[in-house]
């Protein structure tokens, strides 16, 4: 019985076939391929230093900074060198070698003098106790802000490592949102730490590698720093899974020798085809990184020998028009693979990346990927937000990558303003770091990029939070579809809003973007608080009337004493607690009555039952049906105006309205009688109410449509329709959820339906009568019509 070897096993087998003779050949081929492809992304070893020098750094800076700026950088070096004197890295090197290496990476990106200074000083606050004020006085406020944004919150107390990590990321990302240079220096810091991770204990090495591949590599990709992104991925993989990395690295080296002749033949043919097309182009070979090969093997369950596109080619031309001409020449040379042409010039990636991608069938049937781009696109593709550094001209003339980066950074501030804690903030940021994206269009043809899997509602929130909050429906390609519909690239999306619409808690179950989730949670939290305060005021006012007082008569002095007595911050918080059921309005009214009359009050009053038989009878709370989340009509009995009702105050849940004959309510009343209050319908409620009816009909053709027509002819809206098919052939049960104004309206609808000769019986249906649902106090958020 034969079995298919696992990808890892086959990689090991391929690597182990290399003979001593091949090792020599590999060395020769390695040199050739380095000339063709450039160095592969393997982990760098720590550099050994004798006397620490910044000659390499100043040489790099002299190409774009002024002598005065270089002087400021040298001052930062001497300050950092003095601060870190006697401090060593785990490799045994003087600690100053690290900030110098970070500054050299930043110089490679041609960052400004303030960024280089921050790179040299980035650990002095955290490790050596230098204050922000000291840095500001010595190097200016901007440099001090950058260093502060890079420093961890070590002086704060956290419950665990995860909480500390989340809060530090939050601080760093918000500093980055204010000044993108913070994350550029941080990425340089992380890149050097990853290059020298070999001296760190294995457990910490794996933790840092996981953190890097989860957070820092995606941020680099999001900002268009593709070289940094690829190197961070490979270094993380090498440290997180060193055995598999080494095995794949050997396999790739062996494959270079096997494919050298094919690659050379392709390169020669491509150069000839481009010359025939009269294009001035630079053609270079490129090799997949070790991590990208591993990821493809893992995701598609392939062996190494099945990953045929290890090598590819990049063609750099002068203009966008020449990019398309070049693609035509390549397609004439080799047959293109259907569905593998991607135009990222017309529709750039979410991080601003632009190129034409195509996959062709080369010699011996091997697929070869080509990337075609202009020189400017190439520079931006490699350096991302750091290309043509924006601080050189004060932020004017930003390239597309920088504009997109700024939009994303601004969205971080929007999320921050709407979330509760650092862990939630980090969760939302991680969602928005996914590189895969779909590209959709507004009705005015503006392109919007969203994470893969994003819904139409995510689209609405991506434009503006208010648009999402008031969204009631969407048209996708001119077709009315639910808000939860996942978008595909090329969709044209139109948002339909209504001023009365509010976010539904059920939306949190399907939105994908951090911005949408944080906006919905923020709105619901704010709305719930506002409505709870309003309900609390009404409940206290109702209870006070039993003592002959009005709420408006309560003096500020009495409120001050009440706030001290309850421990709340202010009267609004007292009302919110009452509206949410955490405090009892009758107890609060009794306390107010005592304080208003000048009597002594027993501090234990707040423990008494709200149904104290000695308490005066208060008028009922009036229900309009428009109170919002703080007052809900229970799904177990679906009360409508005209029904006898009662209210249940659940702890932390607000008020649930039940009919007096509801079985769920009666069961809760027996268990917890003290939390029920008198309620009554307003004379003219401000909305329509859902009610369920079931209709037994003869099984005749078209009966469904005729009954539905009868209901709508009685001015009732149909919300939901279902049909039972387990009865005898001659009859069937239809179930409707309809909207009526009150019991009189419902009676009119039922009379109208009974006139239909096919209708055998129509009755009002209560879910609690049939035991279909269990609801704690009837407090269930309706999911019906959640999309609209």
**Residues acting as catalytic residues:** 126-127
The pairing of beta strand 479-481 with beta strand 471-476: antiparallel
174 contact partners, CB below 8 Å, separation of at least 6:
412, 413, 416
Helix (H, G, I), strand (E, B) or coil at 274: helix
Q: What span, in angstroms and rounded, lies between the C-alpha atoms of 300 and 292?
A: 12
Helix (H, G, I), strand (E, B) or coil at 530: helix
Q: What span, in angstroms and rounded, lies between the C-alpha atoms of 597 and 654?
A: 30
Q: What span, in angstroms and rounded, lies between the C-alpha atoms of 487 and 761?
A: 44
- Residue pair 455/513 in contact by the 8 Å Cβ criterion: no
Structure tokens at 442: 């507004």
The pairing of beta strand 335-336 with beta strand 356-361: antiparallel
Q: What span, in angstroms and rounded, lies between the C-alpha atoms of 22 and 352?
A: 43
- Residue pair 385/181 in contact by the 8 Å Cβ criterion: no
- Residue pair 645/637 in contact by the 8 Å Cβ criterion: no
What is 360-385 written as a DSSP string? EE-GGG-EEEEEEEEHHHHHHHHHGG
Label residues 374-405 b or e (16+ Cβ within 10 Å = b): bebbbebbebbbbbbbbeeeeeeeebebbebb
∠ CA(314), CA(320), CA(321), 5° rounding?
Answer: 110
Q: What span, in angstroms and rounded, lies between the C-alpha atoms of 683 and 38?
A: 81
- Residue pair 187/111 in contact by the 8 Å Cβ criterion: no
User: How many Cα atoms are found within 13 Å in the side-chain-facing hemisphere of 222?
Assistant: 27
Q: What span, in angstroms and rounded, lies between the C-alpha atoms of 735 and 716?
A: 15
DSSP state of 553: G
Helix (H, G, I), strand (E, B) or coil at 631: strand
Angle formed by the axes of helices 375-383 and 226-240, nearest 10°: 40
């Amino acid at each position: 019985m034969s079995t298919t070897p696992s990808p890892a096993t086959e990689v090991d087998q391929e690597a182990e076939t290399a003979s001593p003779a091949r090792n020599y050949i590999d060395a020769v081929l390695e040199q050739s391929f380095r000339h063709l492809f450039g160095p592969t992304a393997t982990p760098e070893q720590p550099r050994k230093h004798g006397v620490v020098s910044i000659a390499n750094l100043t040489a790099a800076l002299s190409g774009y900074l002024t002598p005065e700026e270089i002087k400021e950088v040298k001052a930062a070096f001497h300050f950092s060198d003095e601060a870190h004197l006697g401090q060593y890295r785990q490799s045994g090197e003087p600690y100053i070698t690290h900030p110098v290496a970070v500054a050299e990476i930043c110089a490679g990106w041609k960052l400004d003098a303030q960024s280089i200074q921050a790179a040299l000083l980035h650990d002095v606050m955290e490790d050596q106790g230098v204050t922000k004020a000291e840095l500001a006085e010595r190097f200016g406020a901007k440099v001090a802000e950058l260093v502060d944004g890079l420093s961890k919150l070590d002086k704060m107390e956290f419950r665990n490592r995860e909480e500390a990590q989340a809060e530090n990321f939050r601080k760093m990302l918000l500093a980055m949102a204010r000044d993108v240079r913070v994350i550029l220096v941080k990425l340089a810091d992380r890149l050097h730490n990853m290059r020298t991770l070999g001296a760190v204990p294995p457990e910490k090495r794996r933790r840092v590698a996981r953190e890097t591949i989860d957070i820092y590599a995606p941020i680099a990709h999001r900002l268009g720093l593709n070289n940094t992104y690829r190197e961070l991925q490979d270094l993380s993989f090498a440290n997180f899974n060193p055995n598999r990395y080494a095995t794949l690295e050997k396999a790739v080296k062996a494959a270079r020798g096997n494919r050298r002749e094919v690659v050379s033949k392709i390169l020669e043919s491509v150069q000839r085809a481009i010359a025939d097309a009269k294009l001035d182009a630079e053609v270079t070979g490129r090799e997949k990184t070790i991590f990208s090969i591993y990821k493809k093997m893992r995701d598609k369950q392939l062996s190494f020998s099945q990953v045929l596109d290890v090598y590819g080619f990049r063609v750099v031309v002068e203009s966008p028009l020449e990019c398309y001409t070049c693609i035509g020449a390549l397609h004439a040379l080799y047959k293109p693979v259907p569905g593998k042409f991607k135009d990222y010039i017309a529709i750039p990636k979410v991080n601003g990346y632009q190129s034409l991608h195509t996959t062709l069938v080369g010699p011996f049937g091997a697929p070869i990927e080509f990337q075609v781009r202009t020189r400017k696109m190439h520079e931006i593709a490699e350096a991302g937000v750091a290309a043509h550094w924006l601080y050189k001209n004060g932020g004017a003339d930003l390239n597309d990558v920088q504009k997109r980066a700024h939009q994303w950074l601004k969205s971080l501030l929007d999320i921050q303003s709407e979330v509760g804690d650092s862990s939630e903030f980090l969760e939302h940021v991680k969602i928005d770091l996914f590189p895969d994206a779909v590209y959709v269009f507004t009705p005015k043809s503006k392109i919007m990029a969203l994470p893969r899997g994003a819904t139409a509602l995510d689209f609405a929130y991506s434009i503006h939070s208010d648009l999402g909050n008031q969204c009631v429906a969407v048209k996708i390609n001119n077709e009315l579809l639910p808000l939860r519909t996942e978008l595909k690239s090329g969709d044209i999306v139109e948002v339909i809003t209504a001023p009365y619409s509010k976010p539904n808690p059920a939306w949190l179950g399907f939105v994908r973007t951090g911005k949408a989730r944080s906006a919905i949670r923020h709105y619901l939290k704010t709305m719930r608080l506002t409505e709870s305060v309003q309900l609390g005021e009404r409940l206290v006012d109702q209870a006070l009337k039993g003592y002959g007082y009005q709420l408006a008569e309560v003096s500020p002095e009495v409120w001050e004493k009440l706030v001290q007595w309850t421990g709340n911050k202010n009267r609004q918080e007292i009302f919110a607690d009452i509206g949410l059921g955490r405090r009892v309005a009758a107890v609060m009214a009794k306390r107010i009555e005592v304080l208003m009359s000048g009597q002594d009050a027993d501090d234990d009053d707040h423990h008494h039952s709200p149904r104290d038989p000695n308490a005066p009878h208060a008028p009922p709370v009036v229900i309009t049906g428009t109170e919002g989340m703080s007052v809900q009509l229970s799904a177990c009995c679906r009360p409508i105006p005209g029904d006898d009702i009662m209210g249940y105050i659940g702890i932390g849940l607000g008020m649930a309205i039940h009919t007096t004959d509801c079985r769920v309510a009666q069961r809760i009343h027996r268990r917890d009688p003290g939390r029920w209050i008198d309620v009554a319908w307003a004379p003219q409620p401000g909305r329509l109410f859902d009610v369920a009816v079931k209709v037994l009909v003869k099984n005749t053709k078209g009966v469904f449509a005729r009954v539905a027509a009868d209901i709508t002819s009685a001015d009732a809206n149909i919300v939901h329709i279902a049909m039972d098919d387990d009865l005898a052939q001659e009859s069937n049960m239809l179930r409707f959820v309809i909207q009526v104004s009150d019991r009189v309206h419902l009676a009119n609808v039922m009379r109208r339906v009974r006139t239909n000769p096919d209708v055998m019986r129509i009755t009002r249906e209560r879910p609690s009568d049939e035991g279909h649902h269990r609801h704690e106090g009837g407090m269930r958020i309706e999911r019906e019509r959640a999309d609209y």
